Every structure is written in C-alpha cells, then in structure tokens.
Structure 1
Amino acid sequence: MTKSTSDIFMSIKPEHMKNIVSGSKNHEYRSYLLPPSIQHIWFYTTRPVKQIEFVARISPGKIPGEVPDDEGIGNAEFNAGLKESKYGYEILALWRLKMAVSLEMAIVEGFLKGAPQKYCWVSLEFLGRYGLDGQDLLFERMVNGEDEV
C-alpha cells in the first residue's frame, strides 16, 4: 500500500482523547518531533475502546514557551519545561469518523499491523475510504483571528 506523507496513526489513552474532544486539552504532547509534512493525526484510542474514531489537523511541533495558551491541560507545565514531552502539537480541527474503525478491522484490511507504538503512516487506500470530507467536523480553532485551512 502506498503511504501518505501527511497523515499518521497514533495511539492515545481514552482519557486524553475525551479531553481533546471536550476542548479542555488543546495540544498533544510527545517526546519526539514529527516530520514537518504531517498535517493530520488519526487517533487510535487504546483499551478498552480499541478503535480509530477521531482525526485531528495539527500545527507544526512547538517547543516549551511557544504554546500561547496556558489554559489547556498540560500547557503551563509544558511551557515551564516540566513535562517529559519536548514537542507540542496544537489541535487545530477535530473530526469524528461516522463509522469508527476497530483495531481488528484495521488489521484485517491491512491498514495496521497492530496498535501504533509511536506512530505509523496512513495509507492512501485508508484515506480514500475514510476521507475527511465524509466525517463530522467537531470543531475548528481560530488562529490569529483567522480560520486555519
């Protein structure tokens, strides 16, 4: 399968996904810098959910001191350099898939070999089947007073 250069699968714990959906967590923090071509994270929510249900458009990686909003969960700690994570990715838009994809289905269809450990590239075949145009946009953040596109 041909891989996308702009979309990845990434695992996330259910409680963190709930906080992103509610808007109380507006950045996803990781200890590694993602390639600059990445625009979307397709979140695989771990046990007990075990499915891909949400996709986010993200900002380029930010370092401590570059997150302007201390209100989101973890933002103040990140800016102060108190988190293990070295990079933050702002959640600019979030979609809920109309039909969630179980881990079992993703493996059977050849989209994943197992739950993503760090991250893995999304195939063009997956994007063709589950494109953003057909999903439910939950929110899109204003950045610098303008909509990000």
Structure 2
Amino acid sequence: MCLLKRGIRWCGRSSAIWKEFGTVVLLSLFIVAIGFQQSAVCALKCLLNEQKGSLLGKRRLTSQPTLVASSSTSSKKSKKKSTLDRAYSDAILTIKPEFAKLIAKREKNHEYRKYELRETVQRIWLYETAPTSAITHVMTTTRPKQPGEVNDPSGFGNDDFDKGLKDSKFGYPVLGLYKLDPPIRSGDMKTRFDISPPQGYLYAPKKLVEAIPLDSMEKLY
C-alpha cells in the first residue's frame, strides 16, 4: 500500500512538471515566432526600399536622354525660325486653280478669306493647289472689305459675300495682277526659300520678295 501511495504521488508530481514544461515550451515557441515575424517584416521593408531605389535610378537614367533630345530639338527649331526673316508686306495664300484663272481673266476681282491678314500686307502671292502646286501669280491689294462693302455685282462671288452667304468675312480687292514665268514649284519653294506650301497662308520670306521683284514679272493688268 505504501508503494502504491508513493507511486500515485510521484505520478501527480510528474504530471504537474510536464504541464509546466509544456507551458514553457509553448511560450518559447510563441516568442520565437514573434521574433521571426519581426525579422521577416524588417527584411521585407529592406527589400521594398531597395526596389524603390532601383526604380528611381532607372527613371532618372531613361528621362535624361529625352530631356536632352527635346531641348536640342527645340533649340534647332528656334534657330531655324530666327534665321528666316519675313516680309510682312507680302503674304502667300493657297487658292484653287479654277479661282486663279477667274482672277487672271478679271472675272473675279476680290479674294475672300475667313481670316484677316496684317495691315501691312500689300501683295498676295497665289499658290495654286494640285495639280498645279506652284506660286503662279502675285496680286496687289489693300485693306479688306467686309460683307456689304463690296457693292460690285460684276465680280464672281461679290453678291454672295455682301449678303453674308459666304463663310468668308474679309474680301481682298484685286488691284493688279502679275504672272510668274516660270512659276515657283513646291519643291523650289523648299530648296530655294526654305518654305513649304502654306496651309491657308504664310508671310513671305524676305529672300523670296527680294529675289523675284514685281518688275521682273509679266504684268497682266
């Protein structure tokens, strides 16, 4: 009986010891898990910072050539614009060939436009669109008229302009007309005078006006 009682007491003590040991083990594992989690978070933060730094470095490297290219392009454009002097007494306008023929026949005595040119314009160089694709005539003119001010039914389109039936709001009178012989083709405009066929109008470069004066052209009227 004594041995049995002692065995029971020893078993009770050992179970208590195992419970305490298990608690200690669980606490240790919990502490280790927390430490591992914190170290993992720190490692993840370091990795993210490294990736951000590498991305910023790549962006800086890729953006620098673009800035250099854009600045060089803009400087080239500004240099090109500054070297081309304009004669604001002369403008180059696009015109359809059929209307240029009417002006040459004196059947059209006003050239109508939606826009107003500078007050200094005295001559208009007529660039005929395809299939001609060339500057063929130069007309002398003065300040434009507005709807209701032409009062000349003999000219093509004058009545419609006076009645406000046209989209155009400015009518440039044809005071005189000169013919270029030979005409200035679109290719020659670029190679000789550094200009392209206008999209609407442009002011003539001085070297064009100086190279081909009116007295070198055939005066039609």
Whether TM exceeds 0.5 here: the answer is yes
Q: 5 Å matches for 1:1-149? A: 1-112=84-195, 114-139=196-221
Whichever residue aligns with residue 39 of structure 1, its letter is Q
Aligned residues: 138
CA contact (8 A) 1:95 1:135 kept: yes
- Return the TM-score normalized by structure 1: 0.89
The CA RMSD over aligned residues, in Å, is 1.0
* 3-state SS, counterpart of residue 117 of structure 1: coil
**Cα-to-partner distance string for 1:36-74 (whole Å, 9 max, x where unaligned):** 111111111000001111000012111011103111110
Greater fraction strand: 1
Whichever residue aligns with residue 76 of structure 1, its letter is D
CA contact (8 A) 1:8 1:119 kept: yes
- Residue 32 of structure 2 aligns with which residue? none
Report the Cα offset of residue 129 of structure 1. Answer: 1.1
Moved over 2 A (4+): none
Provide structure 2 residue ranges, at least 5 long, that are not aligned to the other structure.
1-83
Whichever residue aligns with residue 122 of structure 1, its letter is A
- Return the TM-score normalized by structure 2: 0.61
Q: Counterparts of 1:28 and 1:22 in 2: how far apart (Å)?
A: 14
* 3-state SS, counterpart of residue 198 of structure 2: coil
Greater fraction helix: 2
Report the Cα offset of residue 98 of structure 1. Answer: 2.4
CA contact (8 A) 1:111 1:126 kept: no
Whichever residue aligns with residue 142 of structure 2, its letter is S
Q: Counterparts of 2:164 and 2:192 in 1: how far apart (Å)?
A: 41
* 3-state SS, counterpart of residue 106 of structure 1: helix
Residue identity over aligned pairs, in percent, reads 36
Higher relative contact order (CA 8 A, sep 6+): 1
